[in-house]
Structure 1
Amino acid sequence: MTASTSPQSAAFGLWPSPISAATVAAGATPLSQPQADGLDAYWLAGRASEGGRTTLLRQRGAELLEMTPAPLNVRSRVHEYGGGAYLVVAGTVYFSNFADNCIYVIAPGEAPRPMTLPGSARYADFAHDAARNRLIVVREDHAQAGAQPVNTLCAIDADGSETILARGSDFYAAPRLSPDGASLAWLSWDHPRMPWQGTELWLAPVQADGQLGSATLVAGGPDEAVCQPEWSPAGVLHCVSDRSGWWNLYRLADAEVQPLCERAAEFGSPHWTFAVSMYGFRSDGDIICTYIENGVSRLAQLSPDDGKLVPIVNPYEEIRELRVGGGAALILGGSPTIPLELARFDLASARPDVLARSITDLPADGYLSVPESITYASGGNGQRSAHAFYYPPCNADVTPDGAGKPPLMVISHGGPTGMATNTLKLATQFWTSRGFAVLDVNYGGSSGFGRAYRDALKGQWGVVDVEDCVAGARYLATRGVVDPERLVIRGGSAGGLTTLCALTFHDVFKAGASYYGVSDLKGLDDDSHKFESHYNEYLIAPKPESVALYLLRSPINHADKLTRPMIFFQGLDDKVVPPQQSEVMVSALRAAGVPVAYMTLEGEGHGFRKADSIVRTLEAELYFYLRIFGLTTPGQPAVVEIDNLPGAA
C-alpha cells in the first residue's frame, strides 16, 4: 500500500484508512513455539481463515512444509491456556491434537498417527526419554466429573501405555531430562499460588525401571517463582528465579544455586502457557538469552563462568521466545516498525534470516503510528509510577480538520500479569489510522518490570490497574494531546474487569468495550477452571476477607453507577469467563436506559480466533464509538444493534 500525495481534511475518528477489519483479520498470522531440530526450524502458525486452527510448519533449507494439514490442530488444553503442544526429536514430531486431546506422532516420511487413545486426559510440555523410548509429559486428567482435574507427571511409552512418575502436587510443568537421561528436573506448585508467585524446582534420579527415585527440592518455595529449568550440554541444571526481586539466571553447582548474571532485568516471564523459552545453550555451554529492561527486550550471549553479558545486535524490541540449536538462535520478535516474525540468527555471523512473518502485506509507513514509551505518576497521591506506550494518530492521506483533539482509546491488557509491548500490531493501527490516539498501559501488576511491580496488584485488582489507566488518560488530556470528552477504554478478560471498574467507579471515560471481561468476582471463583480457581486469593484477598471486597469491587453489584455507554463481546464457548457474566451486565444496562450493545460469537472461547469474529467485533466496536460520539453519517447501515441510543429510530 502506498500513501496518497494529496492529503484530505477529515475529523478525528473519521479518517479513511486502508487498514480494514478484514485486513487485520487476514494480515495477522499468530506465530508461536519455535523449535530447532538440527538445521531444521519448526513453529506453529494460526489459521484464522480455518476457524483458528493451529498448524505446525517446518523449514528445511528452502523448503517450507506443513506437517499437520487440516483437520489436525496442534494445541493443548492443559490449564485451559495450553502451550507446549509439540516436540521434535531427530525428525520425529510428537504433538497434541485439540479435537481429541490425543498425542500424535509423525515419523520421518510417514503420516500422522495417534500415540494415545481418546479419553479424559490432556497432555502438554513433552520431554523425550531416548534411553527408554518414551515421552515424559504433563498430564491433566478430567476423569472425575464435577471435580477438579488431577495433574501429574507421566511417562508414555511408544505403545501408548502410561506410567505416573510424580503426583501429589496441584500442578506440574517443565519436565526436563539431563543429557545422560539419569536425572529428571521439573516444576510444581500448589493452590492457592499461581506459578509467578511461587514454584518449586525438584530433581530426582531416574531408576533402572524408569520410575523416579527420591526427589530433592533444589530451589523455589511459596515466595520464589522459578521457571524454565534447562540442562546445559555438560549436564548442569540451570533455571530462572526471582529470588532477588528480578527473574535472573541461576545454575545448580556444588549443591548450591548460583547466580549467573545479577541484573535488574527479567530473564523469564509468567507461566500462563507451557514451554515458553527465553534462553538456550550453545554447544560450548555459553547461553544465548533474551531479557526485558524497562519494558524492552534485549538479546545477549552470557558466559556462565564469568557472568559476562555481551549484547547481540538485532532489530527487535520484543522477543517473545528464543530457541537455540544447529548453530543458530530462533527468535520470535517484533518492534514498533516490525510485526511479530520468526528469524533465524546465525550465531557465528549474527546474521538474521526471516523465516515467517505474522503480517506479509504491510501498509506503507505513512499509515503506521510509532509509539512513545511514557512513564507517569499514578495512585492517590501520585506515589507510584505507571508505564505505557502512547500511539498518536497517523495517516498520510489525512490532514486533521482542526476541530479539536483526537479521541483516546486506553487499552487494559489481560492477565492481569500480562505485558503490553510495542511490536507493530494491525489491530492497534486500525484505530490510529482512523484518527484515534491509543494508550497501551502496563499497569501495576504487569510483568517485565520486576517482582515488586508485579506484586503491586496483590490485593489491589480493580484498584491499582484502574488507577493507572485513569491516570494515563488524564496525563495525556492534561498535556493537551487528546480530547478529554472523548476518552474510551477497552479490555479483554482481566482487562475487561479493569475496563468495567474504570467506567463504573470513575468519571473519566465516556464509553468502553469489554471483550469476555470479568464483571463478577464471586462468579469468577464459582465458574473458574482449576488453574485460576484460587487466583483471587492473591488478587483480592483470601476467604472470608474477600467476601466484602468482592461485593465492593465487582461491577455487577454496582450497575446503577455504570452510566457510560458500553459494548460487550462474548464467546459462547468461553470456559474461563462464562457468557452469564456479560449477560447480567448487559441486562442491567438495558434496564437502566444506558446505551449498550452485545455481540455473541458461536464457536469462540476465551479469545477470538476466527477471521469472521475478528472482523465483526472490530467493525462493531468502531461503529459503536462513532454512534456514541455522533460521528456517523446519515443513512450509514447499522453494524450492531445499540439499545437505549438517544435519537435512534
Structure 2
Amino acid sequence: MVKIASYGTWTSPITAGDTGATGGGFQWADLHGEQVWWAESRPAEGGRVALVRDGVEVLPAPWNARNRVHEYGGRPFVVLAHDRVAFTHWEDQRVYVFDPASPEPVPLTEAPRRHHGVRYSDLSAGPDGEVWCVRESVTGDARTDVHRDLVAITRSGEVRVLGASHHFMTGPKLSPDGTRFAWIGWNHPQMPWDGTELCVADVGSSEHRVVTGSETEAVCQFEWEGEDLLALTDPDGWWNLFRVRPDGSRENLAPCEQELGGPMWRLGNRWFATLSPGRYLVVRSGHLAVLDERSATVTDVQTDLPTWAADLSVRDGVVVCGAAGPTSDYAVVRLDLSNGELTYLTGGQRSPVSAYLPVPMERVFGDIPAYVYAPSNPDFAGPQDELPPYVVHVHGGPTGRALPKLDTDIAYFTSRGIGVVAVNYGGSTGYGRAFRERLRGQWGVVDVQDCAFVARRLAEEGVADPARLGIRGGSAGGWTAAASLTSTRVYRCGMVAFPILDLAGWTSQGGETHDFESRYVEGLAGALPEAAQRYAERSPSNKARSVSGPVLLLQGLEDEICPPEQANRFAADLAGSGIPHAYLTFEGEQHGFRKAENIRAALEAELSLYGQAFGFVPPGVPVLELGR
C-alpha cells in the first residue's frame, strides 16, 4: 500500500553506502585477440583501479592501474605480444610489466626523484615489444612546472625520446608499416576542444608535419588506415570523421550536424573504431551508431543501453565497451552486431532496488537541454497539496555534459522524494561548437542563467516547489553552484564540492590549479590583466557572505585540480557570518571522491542539509552540524 508522506521524508532501500559501493566501476576496456581486458575502480578498496581479463582479476592489490598525467590521467595499460602487460601504477607512477600467468610486476622505468615527479600515460604497443606513451616530468615546485615528451620504453627499460611538438600531446601511434607515427598536440591558451593539431613524423626523425587541425579546429581522436589517417575533427562546427591523406588533403566520410567525438579530458578515449573497409562504429552524443562511408550515413544501433562510453574496441563485428542506461550504471558489454546479441561481462543483474530508480525525462527549456528526474518511490506519494523540492544538478567541466544514465547519487535523492534536474547549460558538449562556445567569456553568467531558467520553469509549471529549490555541483559544477548561490536568489541552499571559487587564483599566475587547466579561464572569462575586474566580480570567493542560504562545502585534501586553498578561504569567510554552513574535508582524496566511506559521508551530509533547508527530517541519516 502506498503511503502518503511529505517529500524528503520517504524511506528508501537505496543507501549512501550503496552509492559508495557502485561509484567508480568501469574505467577502460580493450580487446587483445579473443581476450577482453578492462580496468575498474574499486571504491571499497580505497578507489584502487584493478585490471581484469575475461572476468578474472589479474593484478591483485595493492597494484593500482592509474596515472595522473594532466591530473585526469589516461589509458593506463596495454597488452603487448606474448601476453605481456604494461601498466602505470598510481603509487609511484612508474610503468611496470607482468605476465598474467605469473603476475609479479617488474618495473620498466626508474623511480622518480620526487613523489610522482615522472608520470606516463596513453600507453600503446610499439615495435619490438616497446611501450610508446606520453611522459610528463615535473620540473619545479609550481603546479605548472611540467614538461612532456613522447617516449618509447624498451623491454630493458631504456627510455628513448621520440619527440615533443607541443606543450600537451596524446600518446604516439605507430603506422602499420612501422615507418611513421602520429599524435595530437596543442598549446595554451587552447584547450583540446578549442584547437589541436594532428602531427606525423618519420620514425627516427626529429621533424614533424601537421596534417590537419589548427588553433580553431579540434582533432579529438585518430587511427591509422594504411597510409592514411582517420580523424575526428570539427572544421564545420561538429566532430565528424575524416580521412586524412599524407599530403594533408581530407574528406568528410559522412557530413552531419552531429557530434561523433567529444572533449578530450582524458588521453586514450576512442569515439570510433573500424568495423570493415568503409564502415565504422561511432559514439554519437553517447549513442552507438554505424557510419557507412558509401552512403555517407550515420545510423543508430538499436540496443537496450542508450549510453556508450568513448572506449570502443571492435573485432570481427563484435564490439566491447562500457555502456549504461537510465537504470543501469556503466557495465562492460560485448555486442555482436551481426545478430544484436548483447552480453554483460560485468553487471547485468536486475538490481533489487530497480523499482526505486528514476527514469529521466529529456526536455528542452527554451534552448537549454536537461534531464528531469522526478521523485520516484513505489512505496510513497506526496500529499496532494505539497510540491516536491527540486535540486539543480550542475555537471563538471564546464566542457562536459549530463547523460541519461543511472546516477546513484541522484537516485538516492529521488527515492526520498527530492526531484533533480540535470542541466546541459550553454557550454555543454554534444550540441556542436556554437553551443559549446556560448560560454566563451561568459562563465559565471550563461551557466548561472541557464540553470536558474530551468529551475524557475519547473516551479512555474507546478512541478517543483519554488520555495524549495537547491543546487549541487562539483569542480566546475561547484563553481556554477557557488556563483548561483552568491548572485541569484533562486535557491534555498546548495552543495558545493571540490570547487573553483576564485578565478584569479585558478590561473597560472594565481598558482591554484594544475598545468592542464591553468589557462582554461582565459577562454571562459577573458585573459588577464584585461579581465581582472570581471574575474573579481564573478568569483564567489569575493562574496561568500551573500549566499542565498545554507551551504555545504566538500573538499579532498590531495586535490591538485581544485586545491583546498580556495574552499578553505570561502569557509573562513562564512565563519561568523550567521549563514548556516558546513565544511567537510577528506584525507587521501583527490579530485572527486573514490573511497566508499567518504562517498557515503558526503551524500548523507548533503541529504541532511536539504532536510534542514527545506523543512523536513530525513530519516536514518546523521544530522549535519551547521555553523554560523
**TM-score, with structure 2 as normaliser:** 0.95
Matched, 1:367 2:389: no
Aligned position for 2:483: 501
How far is 1:213 from its partner? 5.3
Aligned counterpart for 1:343 among listed residues 322, 333, 350: 333
Matched, 1:73 2:64: yes
Matched, 1:434 2:416: yes
How far is 1:360 from its partner? 5.2
Contact map agreement 2:24 2:594 (CA 8 A) in 1: no
How far is 1:29 from its partner? 4.6
Aligned position for 1:38: 33
How far is 1:563 from its partner? 3.8
C-alpha distance in 1 between matches for 2:210 and 2:327: 45
1:73-97 Cα deviation digits (max 9, x unpaired): 0001000000211111343211110
C-alpha distance in 2 between matches for 1:308 and 1:390: 31
1:314-335 Cα deviation digits (max 9, x unpaired): 1222111221125411121112
Tell me the amino acid that sits aligned with residue 51 of structure 2: L
Matched, 1:223 2:216: yes
Aligned position for 2:461: 479
Tell me the amino acid that sits aligned with residue 342 of structure 2: P
Matched, 1:100 2:92: yes
Aligned position for 1:154: 151
How far is 1:641 from its partner? 1.7
Aligned position for 1:114: 107
C-alpha distance in 2 between matches for 1:79 and 1:87: 19
Question: Can you give the 5+ residue segments of structure 1 that lack an aligned partner in the other structure?
Answer: 1-5, 378-384, 645-649
How far is 1:138 from its partner? 0.5
Identity %: 38
Tell me the amino acid that sits aligned with residue 306 of structure 2: E
Aligned position for 1:380: none
C-alpha distance in 1 between matches for 2:134 and 2:69: 8
C-alpha distance in 2 between matches for 1:563 and 1:287: 50
Contact map agreement 1:170 1:188 (CA 8 A) in 2: yes
C-alpha distance in 2 between matches for 1:545 and 1:143: 30
Tell me the amino acid that sits aligned with residue 563 of structure 2: P
- Give the 3-state SS of the residue equivalent to 1:524 in structure 2: coil
Contact map agreement 1:39 1:326 (CA 8 A) in 2: no
C-alpha distance in 2 between matches for 1:619 and 1:171: 39
Tell me the amino acid that sits aligned with residue 100 of structure 1: D
C-alpha distance in 1 between matches for 2:251 and 2:151: 30
Q: Which stretch of the first structure deviates more once superposed, 141-150 or 187-196?
A: 141-150
Matched, 1:247 2:247: no
Change (3 A) 1:499 1:306: same
Matched, 1:356 2:346: yes
1:512-591 alignment, distance < 5 Å: 512-525=494-507, 526=510, 527-591=512-576
Contact map agreement 1:204 1:212 (CA 8 A) in 2: yes
Contact map agreement 2:326 2:406 (CA 8 A) in 1: yes
C-alpha distance in 1 between matches for 2:362 and 2:621: 38
Change (3 A) 1:609 1:512: same
Aligned position for 1:414: 396
Aligned position for 2:407: 425
Q: Which stretch of the first structure deviates more once superposed, 623-632 or 466-475?
A: 623-632
How far is 1:312 from its partner? 2.4
C-alpha distance in 2 between matches for 1:311 and 1:400: 39
Contact map agreement 2:448 2:484 (CA 8 A) in 1: yes
Aligned position for 1:299: 288
Aligned position for 1:238: 230
**TM-score, with structure 1 as normaliser:** 0.92
C-alpha distance in 1 between matches for 2:151 and 2:16: 44
Matched, 1:142 2:133: no
Aligned position for 1:187: 184
1:544-597 Cα deviation digits (max 9, x unpaired): 112111111001112232241101111111111121211221222222110001
C-alpha distance in 2 between matches for 1:603 and 1:403: 46
Aligned counterpart for 2:451 among listed residues 469, 483, 496: 469
1:57-76 Cα deviation digits (max 9, x unpaired): 111xxxx2212110000001
Change (3 A) 1:70 1:361: farther
C-alpha distance in 1 between matches for 2:604 and 2:208: 55
How far is 1:110 from its partner? 2.7
Change (3 A) 1:575 1:337: same
C-alpha distance in 2 between matches for 1:32 and 1:85: 10
Aligned counterpart for 1:260 among listed residues 248, 253, 261: 253
C-alpha distance in 2 between matches for 1:145 and 1:496: 27
How far is 1:629 from its partner? 2.3
Change (3 A) 1:420 1:225: same
1:293-348 Cα deviation digits (max 9, x unpaired): xxxx3323223355343442212221112211254111211122332211111233
C-alpha distance in 2 between matches for 1:188 and 1:29: 29
Contact map agreement 1:512 1:565 (CA 8 A) in 2: yes
Change (3 A) 1:310 1:414: closer
Contact map agreement 2:123 2:133 (CA 8 A) in 1: yes
Tell me the amino acid that sits aligned with residue 562 of structure 1: V
C-alpha distance in 1 between matches for 2:493 and 2:296: 51
- Give the 3-state SS of the residue equivalent to 1:45 in structure 2: strand
C-alpha distance in 1 between matches for 2:621 and 2:520: 43
How far is 1:643 from its partner? 1.0
Contact map agreement 1:36 1:326 (CA 8 A) in 2: no
C-alpha distance in 1 between matches for 2:618 and 2:387: 20
- Give the 3-state SS of the residue equivalent to 1:530 in structure 2: coil
Tell me the amino acid that sits aligned with residue 23 of structure 1: D
Aligned position for 1:276: 269
How far is 1:203 from its partner? 1.0
Tell me the amino acid that sits aligned with residue 150 of structure 2: L
Aligned position for 2:322: 332
Change (3 A) 1:118 1:285: farther
Tell me the amino acid that sits aligned with residue 437 of structure 2: D
C-alpha distance in 2 between matches for 1:375 and 1:221: 33
Matched, 1:12 2:1: no
Contact map agreement 2:495 2:552 (CA 8 A) in 1: yes
Aligned position for 1:82: 73
Contact map agreement 1:251 1:258 (CA 8 A) in 2: yes
Tell me the amino acid that sits aligned with residue 395 of structure 1: N
Change (3 A) 1:227 1:26: same
C-alpha distance in 1 between matches for 2:62 and 2:200: 39
C-alpha distance in 1 between matches for 2:4 and 2:444: 40
C-alpha distance in 2 between matches for 1:72 and 1:285: 41
Q: Which runs of 4+ in 1 moved over 4 A?
A: none
Tell me the amino acid that sits aligned with residue 545 of structure 1: E
Q: Which stretch of the first structure deviates more once superposed, 261-270 or 137-146?
A: 137-146
Change (3 A) 1:243 1:155: same
C-alpha distance in 2 between matches for 1:637 and 1:458: 41
Question: Can you give the 5+ residue segments of structure 2 that lack an aligned partner in the other structure?
Answer: none
C-alpha distance in 1 between matches for 2:621 and 2:10: 18
C-alpha distance in 1 between matches for 2:546 and 2:290: 53
Q: Which stretch of the first structure deviates more once superposed, 174-183 or 473-482?
A: 174-183
C-alpha distance in 2 between matches for 1:605 and 1:561: 28
Contact map agreement 2:220 2:231 (CA 8 A) in 1: yes
